């Protein structure tokens, strides 16, 4: 089986309605160009001051999920709704939650980001996601009419154990919606994406945010789609846009058959 996947690169702002309208327009454009799977970046619907995160978080289902579900149904696509801040009753912090809708508009997968970005890098990146966000704990793979799809978010990319768990749950394509920092992205983004694709023999679809947000760090862009051999099939620039690539499941099976590294795995 072959199909087209698209990754949308955009810069989210504190204006939620403007972000949603931009995302909807780009998703429509991708679908019109033949994409059956369209992925948005991390926190695509709102990115502002950390102290406002609880206020901006939404329940699931909620306003953003209703809009994304309708859009997926209208366009008859699988839509990865990047991630959004999820408000849960009884919790003071929000989950960073990635959502996958099917072509009927059903919410078929919901993944809460497990690894929180708490770093202090001398050359300019400071983040403490754990102050405002709750970590998830569940590894999510969902079977679809196209292939089994695994969900991760941004900083998860640095933890290969999660990706191996996704593959052993059946994933053939893994999403990595991100707001990756420009500082770390320049050195780490491409090698990490290619490594996760190579070592797990999967397709990686990684839509990133791009540019400077006045309330946060500058994001790297360079959204990518990588094949199971580690080849970059599509790569965005340092500007907003959409990238496309053909996902070929017969090729994935060929790679796994000819170089059966997953079958050769040893546990120490």
Query: What pLDDT is recorded for position 125?
Result: 79
212 an active-site residue?
no
What angle do the packed helices 63-75 and 16-32 form, to 10 degrees?
10
**Whole-angstrom distance, CA of residue 152 vs CA of residue 176:** 5
Instruction: Assess if residue 268 is contained within a domain.
Output: no
Instruction: Assess if residue 55 is contained within a domain.
Output: yes
Instruction: Assess if residue 263 is contained within a domain.
Output: no
Using CB atoms within 10 Å of the CB of residue 268, give its burial: 0 to 12 exposed, 13 to 18 middle, 19+ buried: exposed
> Please, what is the average pLDDT of the chain?
96
* Helix (H) or strand (E) run with residue 244 in it: strand 241-248
- Span 112-122, pLDDT tens digits: 999 999 888 87
Q: How many domains does the chain divide into?
A: 1
Residue 177 has pLDDT above 90, yes or no: yes
CATH number of the structural domain spanning residue 121: 3.60.110.10
Residue 123 has pLDDT above 80, yes or no: no
Q: Picking from 26-35, 44-53, 147-156, 237-246, which range would have the lowest pLDDT averaged per residue?
A: 44-53
42 an active-site residue?
yes
Query: What pLDDT is recorded for position 225?
Result: 99
2 an active-site residue?
no
Q: Which of 53, 86, 113, 147 is catalytic?
A: 113
Q: What residues does 101 pair with on adjacent strands?
A: 79, 107
Instruction: Assess if residue 265 is contained within a domain.
Output: no
Query: What pLDDT is recorded for position 114?
Result: 99
Residue 223 has pLDDT above 90, yes or no: yes
Residue 105 has pLDDT above 90, yes or no: yes
Instruction: Assess if residue 266 is contained within a domain.
Output: no
- Report the share of the chain in percent with pLDDT over 70: 100
Higher pLDDT pick, 123 / 69: 69
Q: Which of 16, 26, 42, 58 is catalytic?
A: 42
Query: What pLDDT is recorded for position 119?
Result: 87
Domain span including residue 53: 2-258
Q: Picking from 65-74, 76-85, 211-220, which range would have the lowest pLDDT averaged per residue?
A: 211-220
Instruction: Assess if residue 150 is contained within a domain.
Output: yes
Is the CB of residue 80 less than 8 Å from the CB of residue 37? yes
Name the nearest CA neighbour of 132 among 195, 74, 52. Answer: 52
Query: What pLDDT is recorded for position 46?
Result: 97
- pLDDT band of residue 51 (cuts 50, 70, 90) is confident
Query: What pLDDT is recorded for position 50?
Result: 84
Query: What pLDDT is recorded for position 162?
Result: 99
Query: What pLDDT is recorded for position 214?
Result: 80
Average confidence (pLDDT) over 136-149: 99
Residue 10 has pLDDT above 80, yes or no: yes
Is the CB of residue 151 less than 8 Å from the CB of residue 133? no
CB atoms within 10 A of CB 191: 10
Instruction: Assess if residue 264 is contained within a domain.
Output: no
Average confidence (pLDDT) over 126-155: 96
Query: What pLDDT is recorded for position 128?
Result: 84
Residue 124 has pLDDT above 80, yes or no: no
Query: What pLDDT is recorded for position 16?
Result: 97
Query: What pLDDT is recorded for position 213?
Result: 83
Instruction: Assess if residue 143 is contained within a domain.
Output: yes
């Amino acid at each position: 089986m072959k199909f087209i996947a698209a990754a949308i690169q955009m810069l989210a702002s504190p204006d939620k309605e403007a972000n949603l309208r931009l995302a909807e327009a780009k998703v429509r454009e991708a679908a019109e160009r033949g994409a059956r799977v369209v992925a948005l970046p991390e926190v695509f619907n709102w990115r502002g001051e950390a102290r406002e995160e609880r206020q901006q978080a939404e329940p699931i289902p909620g306003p953003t999920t209703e809009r994304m579900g309708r859009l997926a149904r209208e366009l008859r696509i699988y839509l990865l709704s990047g991630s959004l801040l999820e408000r849960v009753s009884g919790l003071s912090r929000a989950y960073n939650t990635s959502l996958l809708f099917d072509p009927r508009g059903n919410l078929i997968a919901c993944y809460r980001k497990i690894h929180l970005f708490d770093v202090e890098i001398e050359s300019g990146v400071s983040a403490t996601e754990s102050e405002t966000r709750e970590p998830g704990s569940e590894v999510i793979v969902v079977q679809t009419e196209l292939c089994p799809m695994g969900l991760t978010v941004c900083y998860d990319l640095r933890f290969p154990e999660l990706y191996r768990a996704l593959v052993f749950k059946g994933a053939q394509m893994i999403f990595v919606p991100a707001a990756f920092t420009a500082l770390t992205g320049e050195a780490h983004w491409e090698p990490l994406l290619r490594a996760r694709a190579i070592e797990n023999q999967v397709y990686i679809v990684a839509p990133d945010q791009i540019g400077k947000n006045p309330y946060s760090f500058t994001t790297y862009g360079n959204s990518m789609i990588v094949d199971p051999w580690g080849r970059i099939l599509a790569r965005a620039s340092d500007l907003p846009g959409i990238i496309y690539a053909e996902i070929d499941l017969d090729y994935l099976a060929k790679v796994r058959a000819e170089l059966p590294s997953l079958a050769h795995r040893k546990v120490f």
